[in-house]
Amino acid sequence: MRVLSIVGARPQFIKHAVIQRKLREYGISEVLLHTGQHFDLNMSEIFFESLSLTPPQIHLQTPLASSLSQLSYMLGSMQERLEGESFDYVLVYGDTTSTLAGSLFAKENGFALAHIEAGLRSYDHSMPEERNRVICDHLSDILFAPNSNALQNLQKEGVRGEVVVSGDIMEEGFSLFLPMAQKPLNVQIPSKFIFCTLHRQSNVDDKERLESLLQGLDEVSKQIPIILPLHPRTQKNIQSFSLSLPSSLIVLPPQGYLQTLWLISHSQMVFTDSGGVQKEASYGGKKCLVLREVSEWVELVESGACELLGERSIPRAYEEIKNQTLSWDKKPLNVSDRIIQSLLKHSSCTAMGEE
Ligand code: UDP
């Protein structure tokens, strides 16, 4: 079996680090393509080094641009760089422009498409992530749903591909990499703190929204320190809106995954608008305030692990949840194994058969 794996953004490097180990274990041949959507040391290279990912054979060096221009660039470059190649599967993750480009490329060239983290929905089509995941799910031949809510969403929509409830690949990644977690260097970490991330377009592309979130964080940080690794998009918007970061916040550059796991697991609580971080908080037994009005991870909200900010201010929501605690139900996971076994079953060839 020959697989083309397409990654381009931080959470995809993390998810693929788990899958790539399994591909190697099964002796499956892989071409890894990095679109370059995230490109610098802190948002890309660090993950390849620390999670032992093999360097990509193909790097598209996608320039910074609007998502539609990036999509068109990625498609053109994929077509050019992969001309004459053949794959049993194109493997894509999540909901980014790279996911959409990989999906369209696969179908244009008649390759089977496999989507990991399929079936998540916010039902908000103003979000580019929602549009990307819906299109990708409807094009996919095999869809790996992380849970039964995602399965139900896909069944309701009548997707044509085969759906496999695989479990959440990030939960396996969390268990796999947590024992390797590393304390960030060169920064004084207080004994108690809130870990916070903020980068979603709906929060940081609007000046008033961003300003009010920063004010909310400033107020809470008078009670308990807040550590905020700053996403490049948030940093750029703070500058372009002429806002300033409250000096009360402990602001760090984007962290590697092993450092992020350390910070989450040593925090008192997590504030985030990230999909991945809200799951990692709950996997680590930390209460999480989701800085959004909806979450695609419905079961985390229903179980009380995550609390939606909704229309409240951050300080008010914090007051309401600050004494709540969670436990972490650590269980052995074989999500990546289930995914690879399903690919092998779904494919007409076996792992070594056509090599
Ligand atoms: N993450 C990281 N460094 C950081 C912030 C986040 O390694 O400074 C990790 C985090 O642990 C999670 C992933 O990046 O696994 C989430 O990525 P992001 O928030 O960019 O995207 P989303 O999950 O919202 O798609």
Burial class for 50, CB neighbours closer than 10 Å (0-12, 13-18, 19+):
middle
Provide the pLDDT for residue 354. Answer: 47
Residue length of the chain: 355
What does the pLDDT average to over 283-293?
A: 96
Alpha helices in the chain (DSSP H): 10-25, 46-50, 67-81, 97-108, 128-139, 148-157, 169-177, 201-204, 207-220, 232-240, 257-266, 275-283, 298-302, 314-321, 335-346
CA distance 198 to 273: 6
**Is the pLDDT score of 21 beyond 60?**
yes
Confidence band, pLDDT 50/70/90 cuts, at residue 328: low
Angle between helices 97-108 and 128-139 (to 10 degrees): 20
pTM for the complete prediction? 0.94
Give residue ranges with CB within 6 A of ligand 1. 10-11, 14, 197, 199, 229, 254-255, 257, 260, 274-277, 280
State yes or no: is 199 an active-site residue: yes
User: Is 37:64 a contact under the CB 8 Å cutoff?
Assistant: no
Q: How far apart are CA 141 and CA 129, in angstroms?
A: 20
Confidence of residue 350 (pLDDT cuts 50, 70, 90): very low
| Res. 325: pLDDT tops 90 | no
The stretch 164-185 carries a mean pLDDT of 96
Confidence (pLDDT) at 347 = 82
Atom of ligand 1 minimally distant from the CA of 256: 7
Q: Which residue has the higher pLDDT, 41 or 241?
A: 241
Percent of the chain with pLDDT over 90: 93
Residue nearest to atom 3 of ligand 1 (CA): 255
Q: Report which protein residue has its CA nearest ligand 1's atom 17.
A: 11
* CA distances for 343 relative to 90, 140, 162, 163, 346, angstroms: 11, 13, 11, 11, 5
- Tens digits of per-residue pLDDT, 50-75? 999 999 999 999 999 999 999 999 99
Q: Are 42 and 128 in contact (CB under 8 A)?
A: no
Looking at the predicted structure, is the pLDDT value of residue 355 above 80? no
3-state secondary structure 143-200: EEECCHHHHHHHHHHCCCCEEEECCCHHHHHHHHHHHHCCCCCCCCCCCCCEEEECCC
According to the model, what pLDDT value does residue 195 have?
98
For 80-106, what is each residue's pLDDT tens digit?
Answer: 999 999 999 999 999 999 999 999 999
In whole angstroms, give the CA distance from residue 178 to residue 172: 10
pLDDT tens-digit profile of 178-217? 999 999 998 999 999 999 999 999 999 999 999 999 999 9
pLDDT for the residue 115:
98
Pick the residue whose CA is nearest to atom 10 on ligand 1.
Answer: 277
- CB-CB contact of 289 with 268 (8 Å): no
Q: Which of 199, 231, 266, 346 is catalytic?
A: 199
The answer to whether residues 8 and 98 touch, using CB atoms and an 8 Å cutoff, is yes
Q: In a mutational test of the pocket of ligand 1, which residue from 197, 279, 283, 292 has the highest number of ligand atoms less than 8 Å from its CB? A: 197
Catalogue all structural domains in the chain, each as residue range(s) with its CATH number.
2-168+333-352 (3.40.50.2000), 179-322 (3.40.50.2000)
* pLDDT for 353: 45
Residue closest by Cα to atom 24 of ligand 1: 274
pLDDT at 39: 86
pLDDT at 75: 98
